[in-house]
Chains A and B, each alone.
Chain A
Amino acid sequence: MMRSLENELKECARKLLTEKKVDLIIGYSKSPLPLRSTPCFIREEKDVDSLIFDLTCSNNLATYLQKSKCAEHRKPNTDPTVRMENRCKIGIIAKACDARSIVQLILEKQVKKEDITVIGIACTGILDLKKVSDRLNGKEILNYNPQDDEVLFEGKDFKKALKLSDILCDSCKTCLNPDPSVYDSFIGEPVSGAKTEKQEPMTELENLSFGERWEYFEHEISKCIRCYACRNACPLCYCEECVVDRTNPQWFGKSTEFSDTFTFHITRMLDTAGRCVGCGACIRACPTHVDLAPLGIKIEKEIKERFGYTAGLSLDATPPMATFNEDDKEEFIM
């Protein structure tokens, strides 16, 4: 099944390139590590065959659309003096959550819809490598083989099948909008109709006491080494100068003292409030497994209740932070 999905994907990409609809395709290709894929940038038809799509395509490629992370040859897109016809046209492969972040980027005027061709792809979830590793006692995996609702893992001296539903990312297990909200081409069969085990996002945080919540934050945040992989992997952290990088004035301490790290995380959570699409790319990027998703989910829920908004679902919506409504709740404003 994966194979034909990949064939469809390659054909679509080839067509876009030959018809000169796009100059560049951002997708995934195989990586030397068995359970990982790596972002790839395809400009020529002959390279299209390196495209893949499977359980390991964990990056949110929309992060490469941003100005602040813009590599050299996409610069023209961010230069207002460059005429439309000279801008680099980008085809980007997007899972549902990635497509949502692209919608946010368009709504927030970070990219122009005309510059982008979204290749939406049917996604049934991405592997959570920590869950896999925990279940295999940290043993190195050299090969894997997905089979229906199981995945067979192989290492030097073991073979073990794990249930797919046990090793998908939390963000995938709770994904309520598994089909891309916006796309120009769609690869595969829509997932929404299919039998899935999606659940309401857990809001376990709500059930904790203040003390327990604090414990949870302390535990997660004290693992952070401030490498900013989370921020840089996030498609919606695009400030040209991140507030933690400001030097004049310098708002943030640079150490890994708890208060400094804590401030960084809380600021990032607030900055992405109402914009975060819950793709989980930040969590997967983290080398020390810091996971603040429950807080993100809580914020998303809060925004929905207050402003009736869920990030990235429609190009016609107005993001709550970009508008004002007389009926907005403001019980905390004195």
Chain B
Amino acid sequence: MAAFKIKKKRLKELIDSLTKEYRVFIPVESDGVSSFKEVTSDSHLPTINSHNTDRPPKEIFFPQTETLFTYKEGKISPPEQPNTKYRTPNTDKIAIFGASPCDVKSFSLLDRLFGMERNVAKCSGYKDAYWINRRTNALIFTIGCNYPLSTCFCNWLNGGPFTKEGSDLLLTDIGEDFLVEPCSQNGEEFIKTKGLPIQKAAKVDIKRASTVRKEAESTLSEPVDITSLKEGLDTLWDNPVWNEIAYKCLSCAACSYLCPTCYCFDIQDERAGNARGKRIRVWDSCMFSLFTKEASGHNPRPSSKERMRQRIMHKFNYFVENLGDFGCVGCGRCIRSCPVNMDIREVINTIKNVKLTISNEK
């Protein structure tokens, strides 16, 4: 595929031209927390930190709180004032500029779950109108990671700081310019738009990009082989190791709410007077004790042990079983945000070691 480049100085022009057709989301830092915000007329350039944002961009397609419909005296209507933050799902096309490769991979993982048509062997079979409406025609500009963080481990999970899965265009920081590579049909189409502030990349640009990539990849830690993790987990349901792992966990949702691939939600009816109200969908987390509490009062996952097991099983076993890939992209957010410093890499290693001990004993 042909490669292009854009001067960093002209990024703003590119983003401005995008806003004519798209609602554009860019990484912005505010009060020490970076997240994706919609470009408004007084926005500045995106905060390009060359690592992923504190809050993942999943909330663009899957907001924390979403009104599904409102009801009034037996009549149901679509949300009038849907999401103050993310407006009507199906009226606008969304462009995301500056997501990291791991986050973009998370979109394609959630596509399998929420039923976007994609050519994958495994998908859930369920179609989620809200996700699909926002995702359809979304244009994703990924920026590769020149400087991965010490918490990044995308390379354990079939990813890497410059992988393209889920991207429409991949940008690589090569100094004064970004190398721009279209990597989907939408990306190819977009690059043909008249008047874009881009030009064809020269051989040296492409060479520079490949050096940058090699350097970045070499700074990631040696990947741990997790090819048989799923099978390993199949045998560990009753293992006491879960106690050991979960002991310090506080059962909050910092890890899952900031995880790009966690998608559990709750449905709630909010009454606003007699026979009036709305039905909303809000994020939920398997780490909360309330998550599985039944009406009788019984809770099949009464302690952090069962909840931690669920989180790990879901990501590294059920997800593989049902959707054909690990439900973790190695972004490292859960490691950075956990109040007691649970490190999912250590968890993976602990599990691997238990598995080894068991098979050695046999």
Contacts and interface: CB of A to CB of B under 8 A. Distances in A.
A59 B151 CA distance: 21
Contacts of B64: 225, 255-256
Contact of B248 (A41, A156, A223, A247): A41
Contacts of A69: 250-251, 304
Nearest to B339: A285
A23 B149 CA distance: 39
Contacts of B266: 254
B33 A255 contact: no
Interface centre among A142, A229, A287 (most CB of B within 10 A): A287
Interface string B336-361: 11011111011000000000000000
B31 A289 contact: yes
B172 to A, nearest CB: 18
Contact of A31 (B31, B147, B247, B341): B341
A19 interface: no
Contacts of A38: 248, 340-343
Interface stretch (A78-86, A130-138, A180-188, A206-214): A130-138
A126 to B, nearest CB: 13
Which of A31, A41, A228, A284 has most chain B Cβ within 10 Å?
A228
A222 B51 CA distance: 25
A39 interface: yes
B147 A156 contact: yes
A72 interface: yes
A233 B65 contact: no
A227 B254 contact: yes
A302 interface: no
B69 interface: no
Contact of B246 (A71, A256, A285): A71
B36 interface: no
Contacts of A140: 51, 147, 149-150
B227 interface: no
A158 to B, nearest CB: 12
A32 B346 contact: yes
Nearest to A64: B248
Contacts of B250: 63, 69, 229, 232-233, 285
Most buried by A among B32, B250, B258, B336: B250
Given A38-B340, A140-B51, A225-B64, A32 B345 contact: yes
A257 B65 contact: yes
Interface residues of A, number: 45
B31 A223 contact: yes
Given A256-B64, A285-B339, A247 B290 contact: yes
A287 B337 contact: yes
Interface residues of B, number: 48
Nearest to B30: A223
Given A138-B29, A254-B266, A289-B32, A228 B345 contact: no
Contacts of A59: 339-340
Given A41-B248, A225-B64, A254-B268, A245 B254 contact: no
Contacts of A41: 247-248
Interface string B25-62: 00001011100000000000000010100110000000
Given A72-B303, A223-B33, A245-B290, A138 B341 contact: no
A73 B304 CA distance: 12
Contacts of A64: 248
Contacts of A223: 31, 33
Contacts of B337: 287
Interface string B283-306: 001001110010000000001110
Interface in A280-310: 284-285, 287-289
B206 interface: no
Contacts of B257: 225-227, 287
Nearest to B305: A72
B335 interface: yes
B253 interface: yes
Nearest to B148: A140
Contacts of B341: 31-33, 36-39
A233 B290 contact: no
B243 interface: yes
Nearest to B85: A256
Interface string B124-160: 0000000000000000000000010111000000000
Given A156-B147, A254-B268, A228 B32 contact: no
Chain A to chain B: the 10 pairs with minimum beta-carbon distance, closest first = A285-B339, A38-B341, A255-B65, A232-B250, A287-B337, A229-B252, A227-B253, A31-B341, A229-B254, A232-B252
13 contacts: A32-B335, A32-B345, A33-B151, A33-B335, A40-B248, A156-B147, A227-B285, A233-B340, A245-B288, A247-B290, A255-B65, A255-B282, A287-B254
Interface of B: 29, 31-33, 49, 51, 54-55, 64-65, 147, 149-151, 243, 246-248, 250-254, 257-258, 266, 268, 270, 280, 282, 285, 288-290, 293, 303-305, 335-337, 339-343, 345-346
Given A253-B268, A288-B55, 15 more contacts: A33-B150, A33-B151, A33-B343, A38-B248, A71-B305, A225-B55, A227-B285, A229-B250, A232-B339, A254-B280, A255-B270, A255-B282, A256-B64, A289-B31, A289-B33
